Amino acid sequence: MKTPVFKGSCTAMITPFTETSIDFKRMGELLDYQEKNGTAAVLIAGTTGENATLEIHEYEQLVDFCVRYLSGRMKVIVGIGGNNTISCLAHAKKAEAAGADAVIMTAPYYNKSTQSGVVEHFTYVADRTELPLVLYNIPSRTSIGITLESYKQLAKHPNINGVKEASGDFSLIARTVACCGNDLYVWSGNDDQTVPMMALGAQGVMSVASNIIPETVSILCSLCLSGDFAAAAHIYYRYADLFAKLFIEPNPIPIKAAMGLMGMDSAIMRRPLTQISEGSLLQLAESLKGAGLIY
């Protein structure tokens, strides 16, 4: 039986930028904020961290900095996803050398591989790194999903630990938990689906919202893990509108805008992502006010 990389809340961290580089001072402050508020793990250089716009040297610097800065205070999971399997392995090797605890990898986008290709994509990397590998199923981004049959095959690999499930397909999620059990752990990839997914057996969430409400997301997960879903749902209802508004435009545009409104980040985006529209910003601000996060 495998041991899950983490249980509870993992924050899919933004990458704070200056106009020309990564803002490492702010990154350290954000990591401290997560650690002080009960976050179990952080996901570095994922989609929320704008990994597609990081230069190779920036990626390496970011991973090295976060691992060294945290020094074991929280688990560090590193994003290595891409549509070039060899490049994904190279990123995994960098994460391994830096001392990360695990890596996470999307299904290959754009190439339009078969499910056989999807399985080989993940297996090739899992065979060649010592780090636990977390799969990431987000067909809205990649245009290709991971099927139950693929999950069954991948669960047999000793180095494939689980999956961040953001497909929204609850039938797939339930059947995966039923078929794979502790051979393939499941985490929610959507803040608005954490409670029902944990009711089905998910181990926690890889959260965007916990960039700004880490303690709340951590408590919500702890309640679910203890079986108190009624109390967890009560918290969810309070933040349901915010969970929705944080995706009013493509992630991470709204979460960076929210952090800007809260004084937590400069909200600088890297092209091709742009600043949030005025209309969306007004709706986001109202939602933050409703949640008591700004006044």
CA angle 250–252–257, rounded 5-degree value: 105
For residue 209, tell me if it sits in a domain.
yes
Rounded CA separation 58/51 (Å): 10
By the 8 A CB rule, do 242 and 286 touch? no
Give percent of the chain above pLDDT 70.
100
Residue 221 belongs to what H/E stretch? helix 214-225
Predicted confidence (pLDDT) per residue in 183-230, tens digit: 999 999 999 999 999 999 999 999 999 999 999 999 999 999 999 999
Considering the chain, what is the average pLDDT of its residues? 97
**What pLDDT score does 77 carry?**
98
Q: Which residue has the higher pLDDT, 203 or 109?
A: 203
Residue 275 identity: Q
Whole-model pTM?
0.96
Q: Would you say residue 181 lies in a domain?
A: yes
Whether the CB-CB separation of 11 and 43 falls below 8 Å is answered with yes
Helix and strand counts by DSSP (H, E) for the chain: 12, 8
pLDDT on residue 142:
87
Integer-rounded Cα Rg, in Å, for the chain is 18
In a domain, 50, yes or no: yes
Check: CB of residue 40 under 8 Å from CB of residue 7. Answer: yes
Catalytic residue among 59, 94, 136, 236: 136
Residue 281 lies in a domain: no
- Residue 141, pLDDT > 90, answer no
Count up the domains in the chain and report the number: 1
Phi-psi label, residue 113: left if phi above 0, alpha if psi -120 to 50, beta otherwise:
beta
68: containing domain: 8-226
Q: Is the pLDDT of residue 1 over 90?
A: no
**How far apart (Å, rounded) are the C-alpha atoms in residues 22 and 55?**
10
Q: What is the pLDDT of residue 165?
A: 98
Taking alpha carbons only, the member of 130, 121, 71, 123 closest to residue 95 is 130
The Cα–Cα gap between 106 and 130 comes to: 18
**Residue 236 pLDDT level (bands cut at 50, 70, 90):** very high
Q: Over 90: is that where the pLDDT of 93 sits?
A: yes
Whether 7 is a known active-site residue: answer no
Chain centroid to CA 123: how far?
A: 21
Q: What is the CATH number of the domain that holds 137?
A: 3.20.20.70
29-82 pLDDT tens trace = 999 999 999 999 999 999 999 999 999 999 999 999 999 999 999 999 999 999
User: Quick one: pLDDT at residue 38?
Assistant: 97
Instruction: Decide if 164 is catalytic.
Output: yes
- Check residue 205 and give left, alpha or beta (phi > 0: left; psi -120 to 50: alpha): beta
Judge contact between 47 and 250, C-beta under 8 A: no
From 94, 164, 245, 256, active-site residue: 164
